[in-house]
Each structure stands twice: as structure tokens, then as C-alpha cells.
């Protein structure tokens, strides 16, 4: 049986929709396809900050973070590859993979190629524990990565002082036409004595999803939420959030801080590369939220995860 979202739906966008977007919208003059000269802000990082003790997060790019929490070094949805099929990386990784200290845990939110990147996982190797949603383990074990734990929504797995829970996302999955929605998707909550981190993976806006996560985890300190890959809305909104929706999701979650991700790395959709953070900051200001709680990091930037007061 194919998986569905909490509300019983899936995005169900097919080849006809792709052609309408790629060709129909272009012919109708609706696509924003001008040359994009935006340069994603980046800091020179040699990986030393990742080896420091304490609790901290480093944005590598897209949905990839390296987080030290609960005494473990965790990478989320790692993609260090230069391209996804024909889409070249717009900005280099914030930290080269060769400079990342040995990882203890890798989480993979779903099977789409920009989140489950086998070339990167093979480079990381078999040492870490890989935590994935149900029916995704065979992709990793088939690539020679045997140390895999599968979770269903709301299931948890402890690694020392770090507890990892798979939570719902409003999305879908596919790596080939014959496995559409046959592999579960989700986000992850990382709990440790130092605090609680939520990594949303890929998700559309769903008040039900975020309300249920907030109910189970009422003290999220750091919510890593996607703000990019939203244009055109008619195609993307059922599967991705825009900046304003990410701010609303943060409000529903009741999280202390919003850490923006899923922008500035690969140009997968039509919005200009630099638009997502501009719109996120504008919405944040419009809502009157504390500017210190919106974290839009540079690539390679490491920030200490200080718990909510």
C-alpha cells in the first residue's frame, strides 16, 4: 500500500503537470527564468568548529546540517555532491566533507535525490548509524551501508544521550516511477539533555502536522525549516513551504528559534535564489518577532545551540 500524508493526500503531480510548468508556463510568460547572479553568503570553514565540544549546528547547504548534540555528531539529509542529475550546485558546500569529523549518526528524511544522495552516503561510509523512515533501508544497504535503523512516524531510537524520533511531514516519495509513495517520508526530532532540535526534511505547510508535532514536543529549541523551492505555487505548494509558510509553521510549533534551510544551494524551482531569505525576514518583521530568533546562516557558519530561557 502506498503511504499518504496525515490527511490522506499526496501531491500527485505527474508528467502532465511538469510539462505544464516547464513548457506551458514558459510559453504563457509566467515563469521567472532570468539569469540569477545571486551569490549565497559563505564563510570559510575548515571543519574545526564541528569538532568543538558543546552543542552547535553548522549549515552545509540545502537541508544538510552538521549538529553536535547529546555528545554525537549528526548530519541531516547529507548532500555534498556537485549536482543532482542535471542540476548543478549553485554554491559550494559550507564545509568540505573531507574536513567533517567522523559522524556518529546520519538522518535521511525521504528518498528524493536531493535528500537521499547515494554518492554522498557512500563517501561518508559505513561507520555512522543511518536513521531513515520505513521502507528506505534497502536503498542504503544495497549501497553497502549496513548500519541502518528504520522508523515509523512517532517511533524513536536512542543513541547514548540522543533520542531520535521520526515525525510526519506533508510530502511524498519517489526515486523511480514504480516506487512512488512506497517509501515513508518525515522529519526528525533530536532530544538530548541540552535541548530539542527539529529537522523538517521536505514538507508543505500543514497546520495539522505542525500542531501534532508541537503537541508531542512542546519545547522545541531549534526548528530547521525549509524556506525555498516554492515557485510556481500551483505546482510546489502541495509539497514545499514558502518563507511566509515557514514562519507560520514556526509559530504553530512554538519553537524558540527558526533555522532556515532548503535555499541557496540548488536552483530547483523558479524563484530567484536570494528571494527566500528576503521574504522570510520581511514576514518575520511584519509579524513583530524577535530578530534574534530567526537564524539565516551563511554556508559554513556554525552557531551555538543555546537552550531557550
In tens, the pLDDT along 75-98 reads: 999 999 999 999 999 999 999 999
In tens, the pLDDT along 221-232 reads: 999 999 999 999
Q: Are 110 and 201 in contact (CB under 8 A)?
A: yes
What is the C-alpha to C-alpha distance for residues 286 and 289, in angstroms, rounded to an integer? 8
Residue 21 has pLDDT above 70, yes or no: yes
Residue 279 has pLDDT above 90, yes or no: yes
CB within 8 A of 76, min separation 6: which ones? 63, 64, 65, 66, 67, 106, 107, 109, 188, 199, 224
- The C-alpha cell at 253 is 510549533
pLDDT at residue 304, rounded to an integer: 96
Q: Give 215: exposed, middle or buried? Use CB within 10 Å, 0-12, 13-18, 19+.
A: exposed
Task: List, in sequence order, every beta strand (DSSP E) within the chain.
Answer: 56-61, 64-69, 72-76, 83-84, 87-88, 105-107, 129-133, 148-151, 156-159, 162-167, 187-192, 195-199, 222-226, 257-261, 294-295, 302-304
Query: What number is the average pLDDT over the span 90-113?
Result: 97
Residue 210 has pLDDT above 70, yes or no: yes
What is the C-alpha to C-alpha distance for residues 75 and 2, in angstroms, rounded to an integer? 28
What is the C-alpha to C-alpha distance for residues 81 and 158, in angstroms, rounded to an integer? 29
CB within 8 A of 91, min separation 6: which ones? 39, 40, 42, 61, 264, 265, 299
What is the C-alpha to C-alpha distance for residues 97 and 47, in angstroms, rounded to an integer? 9
**133 — pLDDT class (breaks 50, 70, 90):** very high
> What is the share, in percent, of the chain residues with pLDDT greater than 90?
89
Q: Are 295 and 263 in contact (CB under 8 A)?
A: no
Instruction: Decide: helix, strand or coil at residue 140.
Output: helix
Residue 219 has pLDDT above 80, yes or no: yes
**Of 38, 85, 91, nearest to 64 (Cα)?**
91
Query: What number is the average pLDDT over the span 52-61?
Result: 97
Residue 36 has pLDDT above 80, yes or no: no
pLDDT at residue 47, rounded to an integer: 94
pLDDT at residue 201, rounded to an integer: 98
Query: What number is the average pLDDT over the span 102-124?
Result: 98
Q: In whole angstroms, how far apart are CA 54 and each of 136, 229, 242, 255, 271?
A: 31, 32, 32, 21, 37
CATH architecture of the domain covering 51-302 = 4-Layer Sandwich (3.60)
**157 — pLDDT class (breaks 50, 70, 90):** very high
Q: Where are the domains of the chain?
A: 51-302
Query: What number is the average pLDDT over the span 265-273?
Result: 94
pLDDT at residue 197, rounded to an integer: 98
Residue 33 has pLDDT above 80, yes or no: no
Q: Identify any residues that bridge with 68 across adjacent strands, giving them in sequence order.
A: 56, 73
**59 — pLDDT class (breaks 50, 70, 90):** very high
What is the C-alpha to C-alpha distance for residues 74 and 71, in angstroms, rounded to an integer? 10
**308 — pLDDT class (breaks 50, 70, 90):** low
Average pLDDT, whole number, for the chain?
Answer: 95
pTM summary value: 0.96
Residue 175 has pLDDT above 80, yes or no: yes
pLDDT at residue 67, rounded to an integer: 98
pLDDT at residue 34, rounded to an integer: 63
DSSP of 203-267:
----HHHHHHHHHH-TT-SEEEEE-----SHHHHTTT---HHHHHHHHHHHT-SEEEEES-SSB-
Residue 309 has pLDDT above 60, yes or no: no
Query: What number is the average pLDDT over the span 127-146?
Result: 98
**Of 226, 195, 192, 307, nearest to 59 (Cα)?**
226
Amino acid at each position: 500500500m502506498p503511504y499518504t500524508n496525515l490527511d490522506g493526500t499526496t501531491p500527485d503531480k505527474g508528467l502532465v503537470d511538469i510539462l505544464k510548468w516547464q513548457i506551458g508556463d514558459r510559453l504563457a510568460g509566467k515563469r521567472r527564468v532570468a539569469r540569477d547572479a545571486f551569490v549565497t553568503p559563505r564563510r570559510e570553514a575548515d571543519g574545526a568548529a564541528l569538532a568543538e565540544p558543546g552543542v552547535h549546528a553548522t549549515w552545509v547547504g540545502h537541508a544538510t546540517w552538521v549538529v553536535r548534540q547529546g555528545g554525537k555528531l549528526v548530519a541531516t539529509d547529507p548532500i555534498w555532491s556537485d549536482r543532482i542529475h542535471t542540476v548543478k550546485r549553485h554554491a559550494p558546500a559550507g564545509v568540505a566533507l573531507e574536513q567533517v569529523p567522523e559522524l556518529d549518526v546520519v538522518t535521511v528524511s525521504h528518498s528524493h535525490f536531493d535528500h537521499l544522495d547515494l554518492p554522498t552516503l557512500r563517501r561518508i561510509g559505513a561507520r555512522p548509524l543511518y536513521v531513515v523512515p520505513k521502507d528506505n533501508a534497502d536503498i542504503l544497504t544495497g549501497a553497502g551501508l549496513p548500519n541502518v535503523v528504520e522508523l515509523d512516524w512517532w517511533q524513536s531510537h536512542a543513541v547514548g544521550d540522543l533520542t531520535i524520533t521520526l515525525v510526519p511531514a506533508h510530502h511524498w516519495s519517489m526515486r523511480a516511477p514504480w516506487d512512488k509513495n512506497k517509501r515513508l517520508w518525515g522529519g526528525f526530532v533530536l532530544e538530548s539533555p541540552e535541548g530539542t532540535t527539529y529537522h523538517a526534511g521536505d514538507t508543505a505547510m500543514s497546520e495539522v502536522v505542525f500542531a501534532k508535532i508541537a503537541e508531542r514536543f512542546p519545547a522545541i529549541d531549534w526548528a530547521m525549516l525549509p524556506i525555498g523551492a516554492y515557485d510556481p505555487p500551483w505546482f510546489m505548494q502541495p509539497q514545499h513551504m514558502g518563507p511566509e509558510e515557514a514562519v507560520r509553521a514556526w509559530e504553530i510549533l512554538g519553537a524558540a528559534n527558526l533555522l532556515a534551510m532548503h535555499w541557496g544551494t540548488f536552483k530547483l524551482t523558479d524563484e530567484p535564489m536570494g528571494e527566500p531569505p528576503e521574504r522570510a525576514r520581511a514576514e518575520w518583521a511584519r509579524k513583530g518577532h524577535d530578530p534574534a530568533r530567526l537564524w539565516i546562516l551563511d554556508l559554513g557558519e556554525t552557531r551555538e545551540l543555546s537552550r531557550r530561557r
